[in-house]
Amino acid sequence: MQWMVRYGLPVLMMISMCGCVAHAETAADTDDICRNVEQGVRLHVDGAYGGYPHSVLRDAVLDSVTCPSGEGELRAFHRIATPPPHMRIAVTRPMGQGQQGSLSVMLFSQGRFVIGERMSLSVFSRSQSPFSVKADINLATTRLWNDFAARIERGGPVIP
């Protein structure tokens, strides 16, 4: 027991601190997207895709995010546009061919959750490179903007 307290606790603390530093490095990376709509959206990309570098996943996400474009979507976006909202996209796919993965898209305004979408990765995305997930990300972000516009048109709250 003494050995565990003497050596195990410091090792556990070092591992947890390394995990926090690694997370802080990826969480600090943000991109401006949808610049043609009001002040745009701040994007954070999280997750891991089957052992590929995070930069490859980030590039795939940046290439596939949809922005609000319809009249209802733009009207809804205007309600949260100042300051620019924050979108977090997390893609997780374990290593190995055909492994199940998931995708989560969350929209925040002024630090508060607005709306989100979550879905499993398509069969095609589970067996290919991170760029194969582009259609899934496009679908999830399109659904997010559509659902947000529908909620606003029904008279629902901007922030639930």
pLDDT (tens, 9 = 90+) of the chain, 160 residues, equals 554 445 554 454 454 444 443 443 444 578 899 988 888 999 999 999 888 899 999 999 999 999 999 999 999 999 999 899 999 999 998 887 666 889 999 999 999 999 999 999 988 876 678 888 999 999 999 999 999 999 999 999 888 8
Residue 17 lies in a domain: no
CA distances from 133 to 61, 75, 102, 108, 148 (A): 8, 29, 10, 23, 23
Say if 82 falls within a structural domain. yes
Asked if residue 107 belongs to a domain, the reply is yes
Count up the domains in the chain and report the number. 1
Task: Specify the pLDDT at position 45.
Answer: 96
Q: Is residue 24 part of a domain?
A: no
pLDDT at 2: 56
Q: Is residue 6 part of a domain?
A: no
Asked if residue 144 is part of any domain, the answer here is yes
In a domain, 103, yes or no: yes
User: Is the pTM higher than 0.85?
Assistant: no
Does 45 map to a domain?
yes
Parent domain of 138: 31-153
pLDDT (0 to 100) of residue 30: 83
Q: What is the pLDDT of residue 6?
A: 56
**DSSP per-residue letters across the chain:** -HHIIIIIHHHHHHHHHHHHHHHHHHHH-EEEE-TTSTT-EEEEEEEEETT--HHHHHHHHHHH-----SHHHHHHHHTT-SSPPEEEEEEEE-SSTT---EEEEEEEETTEEEEEEEEEPPTTTTSS-GGGGHHHHHHHHHHHHHHHHHHHHTT--S--
